[in-house]
Amino acid sequence: MKCVNHPENDAQAICAICNAPICGECLVALRNENYCRHCLEEKTRVLNNISIQRSKLLVLLISLLPGAGYMYLGLMNRGLQTMIIFFGTIFVAAMTNIGEITALVLPVTMFYSIFDTLQLARRMNEGAPIEDKPLIDTGKHTNWHNLLGYGLLGIGLLALANNFLPYLFDYWFMHKLFSPLLIIATGIFILYRSLRRGKNDDSER
């Protein structure tokens, strides 16, 4: 009996899946069973597709906790930063007694992390290389140390104001006024940085 794939070779076994005669070059012995390479590769491909479909569901469930889905995919830096942003926002809101922060940051962080995690999982399943990039770039070209320092200083001042000023006078009016003023100040800061950067670019030209 000749091999179905190599007619010049004598068959040494019968494939347990397709029952075709196979030679030593095509033979793969696994758990006391003989398979041809084609059937074994096809079976492995089917099992991999099944595991991928299951992993997508698992990624979706794990990513409901912002950052956990990234960590499940092995993206530890991205996952850790996402968790810090999510739970840090809750911590800051509790310290400063400004719940409006959570209404903006938490839903955006949660939905973005879910859809981004699913997209990254799909690309990984397709074999594309994925770099573990953080959500916010803290590389050499960013002044994140200064921003972090200003942010911590602002959070500390807000916490002190909310904890002690109510004992001195009626703080309700200032508390309601602070959120709009903070939004206006942030917008002015962003516009100022943008205009300043534009002037620097024009001067370099």
pLDDT of residue 33 exceeding 70: yes
> What pLDDT does residue 83 have?
92
- Report if residue 71 sits inside a domain: yes
Q: Which domain holds residue 125?
A: 63-186
Whether residue 86 is found in the same domain as residue 159: yes
pLDDT of residue 106 exceeding 80: yes
Q: Which of 37-51, 75-89, 120-134 bottoms out in mean pLDDT, i.e. has the lowest?
A: 37-51
- Asked whether the beta carbons of 20 and 4 are under 8 A apart, the reply is yes
pLDDT of residue 198 exceeding 70: no
- Report if residue 195 sits inside a domain: no
Q: Which of 147, 73, 150, 171 lies closest to 114 in space, CA to CA?
A: 73
The helix/strand/coil state of 144 is helix
The Cα angle at residue 145 between residues 140 and 149, in degrees rounded to 5: 170
- Report if residue 95 sits inside a domain: yes
Whether residue 32 is found in the same domain as residue 69: no
144 vs 17, which has greater pLDDT?
Answer: 17
The helix/strand/coil state of 7 is coil
pLDDT, mean over the chain: 77
Q: What's CA 88's distance to the chain center, in Å?
A: 17
- Report if residue 191 sits inside a domain: no
DSSP codes joined into one string, 20-83: -EE-TTTEEEETTEEEEHHHHHHHHHHHHHHHHHHHHHHHHHHTTSTTHHHHHTT-HHHHHHHH
38 vs 168, which has greater pLDDT?
Answer: 38
Percent of the chain whose predicted confidence (pLDDT) is above 70: 72
Q: What's CA 160's distance to the chain center, in Å?
A: 34
Whether residue 102 is found in the same domain as residue 36: no
- Report if residue 200 sits inside a domain: no
> What pLDDT does residue 48 have?
60
For range 68-86, the mean pLDDT:
89
- Report if residue 159 sits inside a domain: yes
pTM of the model: 0.52
Counted domains in the chain: 2
pLDDT tier for residue 53 given thresholds of 50, 70 and 90: low
Per-residue pLDDT tens over the stretch 112-165: 999 999 988 888 877 777 888 877 766 555 566 676 677 777 777 766 766 666
